[in-house]
Amino acid sequence: MKRSTIIELCITFGLIAIATSVWVYFASSQRAQMIPKAGTTFDSFVEDMPPPKRLARVDDGSGQKIIWVGETALLSLPSGPSCYVFDGTGSLIRYNISTGDGEPTTNDLVVAYKSEQISIDAAKTLLIPSTQGR
């Protein structure tokens, strides 16, 4: 093999390695931003996250819940959008940053799209006032 061919192959593989590293870094960074902080409440979540793609109120027999369908992590090849479930007091009870592969929040996502969409302000009025930090 000619020396110039070996150099071209090394450059090509080096560029592929750099591009892959950059992609992994940005995918990890984006996913990290989608993970809520410990002790997150609905009010703090509204301040920290981009607006929801869909917000729904659901009563599943065990109480009222608010389901927030969020962004889809574009760089990490997710199966579906993020989904966050809050109980009637505004406490985050479960979430997943990528739905669609059988995670518990996949069912919540389906229910959210079958339910009537509500606004953030409407969701805030549904929460039990004493737990909203007012």
Q: Which residues pair with 16 in a beta bridge?
A: none
> What global pTM score does this model have?
0.76
Secondary structure element (H or E) that encloses residue 92, with its range? strand 92-96
CA distances to 19, 65, 66 from 31, in Å: 18, 24, 22
- Specify the pLDDT at position 75: 64
Residue 87: per-residue pLDDT: 92
pLDDT score, position 77: 64
The pLDDT score that the predictor gives to residue 76 is: 60
Which strands sit side by side in the sheet containing 54-59, from one edge to the other? 54-59, 64-69, 83-87, 92-96
Q: Is the dihedral of CA 33, 31, 71, 58 positive or negative?
A: negative
pLDDT by residue for the chain (134 residues), tens only, comes to: 677 888 899 899 999 999 888 877 776 777 777 788 888 899 999 988 889 999 999 987 788 899 999 988 766 666 788 899 999 899 999 998 888 777 778 888 888 999 989 999 999 988 876 444 44
Going 89 to 126 to 94 to 92, the CA torsion angle's sign is negative
**pLDDT score of 131:** 42
Query: Taking the CB of residue 124, how many other CB atoms lie within 10 A of it?
Result: 16
pLDDT at 4: 80
